[in-house]
Amino acid sequence: MKRFRYLCAATMIGFSSVALGQTHSNYTFKEDAVMYNNQRVVGADMCTFRDLGHGYAKDILNVYINGKILDYVDPTTFRLTESQDSEEIGRGGGYRHRRDGNADYQSYDDGYYYDYREEGYLVFKNDVLFNGKKVQNAHNKSFKELGNGYAKDSFRIFYCGNEIDGGMSSSFVNLGGGYAKDSFSAYYRGVKITGVTAHSFEYLGRGYAQDSWNTYFLGKKVE
């Protein structure tokens, strides 16, 4: 129950005070918004949002610094690193991020990855919870978390604790970047994408996906 209390109190953040010397976080949650120093973080996805320390955060869509979107950085590759250069604290998408706000385009090697996020789903003997709320209709004995808010059991699929109607559990997979698919459909952040050819659908990175006929950005077909 200790972990459950932590999940309820910290919601989706799950951070450690030892992360790169961090002692507190300026990111908080208020109703349906992510806040930084009591200001709304525009564009933040609460379900996948996580604080990385030193003003950095990321969700499935963006990387943030001091509550603002950090342009041209891929959240799937962004990471905080431990470096001999004490001013270099983050790398991702070909950038090296420094405390003075500057960035260059040097490639990076594998650094030490700080990730203190607790998973949002928790399976108990009789129930499955997502961030302190019961997941309706979830079968706890076969329940499996897939990442990025997606999960499934033997019969159903879920996104951020909510059941996705009509999904096929046996073939359902998380593709990354908010995208998922089963044998017949593709999804973005839990919403079915219309007109997709599922067998050829794949995630390309940076919000893009494609099938045999079309390209998609953030779940919408590029016209």
Q: Are 85 and 94 in contact (CB under 8 A)?
A: no
Residue 107 clears pLDDT 50, i.e. is over it: no
What span, in angstroms and rounded, lies between the C-alpha atoms of 221 and 210? 9
Question: Poorest-confidence range of 50-59, 66-75, 80-89, 150-159?
Answer: 80-89
Radius of gyration in angstroms for the set of CA atoms belonging to the chain, rounded to a whole number = 18
27-30: strand order across its sheet: 27-30, 33-36, 39-40
Q: What is the dihedral of CA 169, 188, 121, 140, to 10 degrees?
A: -10
| Residue spans of beta strands (DSSP E) within 54-190 | 56-58, 63-65, 68-69, 79-80, 88-92, 95-98, 103-104, 121-123, 128-130, 133-134, 144-147, 150-152, 157-159, 162-164, 173-176, 179-181, 186-188
Q: What is the DSSP letter of 76?
A: T
Percent of the chain topping pLDDT 90: 42
pTM summary value: 0.58
Q: Closest Cα partner for 44 from 58, 26, 24?
A: 58
Instruction: Kindly tell me if the per-residue pLDDT of 101 is higher than 70.
Output: no
Q: Is 142 helix (H, G, I), strand (E, B) or coil?
A: helix
Banded model confidence at residue 203, pLDDT cuts 50, 70, 90:
very high
Amino acid in position 159: Y
Is the CB of residue 79 less than 8 Å from the CB of residue 90? Answer: yes
- What are the boundaries of each domain within the chain? 2-104, 121-221
pLDDT digits (tens, 9 = 90+) for 148-188: 889 999 999 999 899 999 999 999 999 998 899 999 999 99
Place of tokens 């998973």: 119
Give yes or no for a contact between 49 and 148, defined as CB atoms under 8 angstroms apart: no
Burial class (CB in 10 A: 0-12, 13-18, 19+), 65: middle
